[in-house]
Amino acid sequence: MPDLRRIGIVGMGYVGLTLAAAMARKGFEVHGVDTDPFVLESLSQGKPHIFEPGVAEAFSELIGKNIFISRELPEHGVDAAIICVSTPVDETTHEPRLKNLAAAAEHVADRCAPTTLVVVRSTVPVGASRAVVLPPLVEKWGSARLVMAPERTIQGQALRELVELPQVVGGLDEESRELGVRLFARLAAQVVSVSTVETAELVKLTNNCHTDVIYSFGNEVAMLTERLGLDPLEVIRATNLDYPRPDIAKPGYVGGGCLSKDPYIMITSGESNGYVPKLIAAARTLNEETPVHVARRMVDLMSGGRTLLVLGWAYKGHPPTDDMRGTPIVSMMPVFADAGIRVLGHDPLVLPRVIREYGGEPVGVAEGFQQADAVLVITDHPDYKAIDVDEVLPGGNVRLVYDSWRILDADKITAHGVRYAALGYEVTA
């Protein structure tokens, strides 16, 4: 069997980038492939285009040594080609778009050989590895070694989780599966072998859809407590305390590159086989409606105020990220625009030019508090947890703070005559 030391990674987005760093750290010779000129230039200089703790250090140290970046896989192929391209869903129909996946498979077929182990790492509908990736390989080579090994990390902890989380591997056949297990056993402490590529595809979708459902229940509770005049955190804490059943999640926004699209990929997998996953669809709908609901409440609660400071533009704040995929601000901004509200924006990691692209005016935290009539805290970034409200509120015009994740001191805020509100929790100053 091949040594599997020379690795090609097709797609240098978040999944491919972090995997490249982790595998290079383990001694693999990694050939990263991407078609974006900016990504190629940046990575070739050892400068990752995406923030993730530890990745910049890995690329700075190992670029040109055992990390190589190009538009194409090496001319003589690689031992294993790992497909990590994006598989977005259509914004209107929510149907998965698999053109990138098909193009990556064609490229691997052109540059590699039947001895190459082909790994699908991208999130795909159940059956796509066999239906989309396999045909060009077989057409070119006559046979193929193919596995599905889904990415399951969380942003902010990817390099640790890539080696600590079990790596799931499903193979086209026993030889493929055995090769896949050997490959990922050199990366991670534990490998879970499953019987088919379809099983591995469904593992990834099940992980993320379950998470989406869990979070949606916390948001359901918040929708109720807001109308009942109760505190969702008090309800949830009392519900969870020393109770030997699954915990209820805090209410919050649910976004990111996976949770904002994987439920739709799961729904497509079901519908194409005669079943509509009702719970998954309902959970995704509720989680997408939550930021719109908050934006409308902000407009109502601002009572004619015209300037809003939004703290947190990435989709989450802890662990910190600059990822804008699935960020709640996208669905909030049309509501603010319709109400004629000027939006000031701050994020510790999101660049000012990106805030402008999304319709905000970049400001510093202190400056924003002085200019705004209201403040909306969207993420629980550690920098926002450290805000001293006794320092930023005096001298300004802020009359409302909507603290989505309940990270600020409500009593201190109301002591300044400022109204405090949060997801499912609205009190009068």
Spatial CA neighbour of 356 closest among 367, 345, 341, 347 = 345
Average pLDDT over residues 171-199: 98
pLDDT class of 3 with cuts at 50, 70, 90: confident
170: tokens are 């499903």
Question: Once rounded to an integer, what is the mean pLDDT over residues 85-91?
Answer: 95
**In 110-254, which ranges are E strands?**
117-120, 145-148, 167-171, 191-194
Range 388-415 average pLDDT: 97
Q: Which of 242, 280, 162, 259 is nearest to 204 (CA)?
A: 259
Partners of 146 in the β-ladder? 118
The CATH code of domain 205-283 reads 1.10.1040.10
Question: What is residue 427's predicted lDDT score, i.e. its pLDDT?
Answer: 72
Q: Given this model, what pLDDT does residue 234 score?
A: 97
CA dist., res. 411 & res. 414, Å (int): 5
Task: Order the strands of the 167-171 sheet from edge to edge.
Answer: 67-70, 29-33, 6-10, 80-83, 117-120, 145-148, 167-171, 191-194
- What is the fold of 290-426? Rossmann fold (3.40.50)
- For the chain, residues classed under CATH 1.10.1040.10 are 205-283
pLDDT value at residue 1: 60
Average pLDDT over residues 285-313: 97
Question: What six digits make up the tokens of 401?
Answer: 């703070």
Q: Considering the entire predicted model, what is its pTM?
A: 0.94
Pick 6-197's CATH classification: 1.10.10.10, 3.40.50.720, 3.30.465.10, 3.30.930.10.
3.40.50.720
Q: Phi first, then psi: give them for residue 348, nearest 5 degrees.
A: -65, -25
| Interatomic CA distance for residues 104 and 81, integer angstroms | 10
Tens digit of each residue's pLDDT (9 = 90 or more) over 375-387: 999 999 999 999 9
Q: Is residue 423 pLDDT above 70, yes or no? A: yes
Cα(43)–Cα(48) distance, integer angstroms: 5
- Note the pLDDT of residue 375: 98
Give the E-state strand segments of 11-163 in sequence order: 29-33, 67-70, 80-83, 117-120, 145-148
Q: What is the mean pLDDT of residues 291-314?
A: 96
Question: In whole angstroms, what is the distance from residue 50 CA to residue 55 CA?
Answer: 9
Q: Where exactly does CATH 3.40.50.720 map onto the chain?
A: 6-197, 290-426
Phi-psi region of 271 (alpha: psi -120 to 50; beta: other; left: phi over 0): alpha
Evaluate if residue 429 carries a pLDDT over 60: no
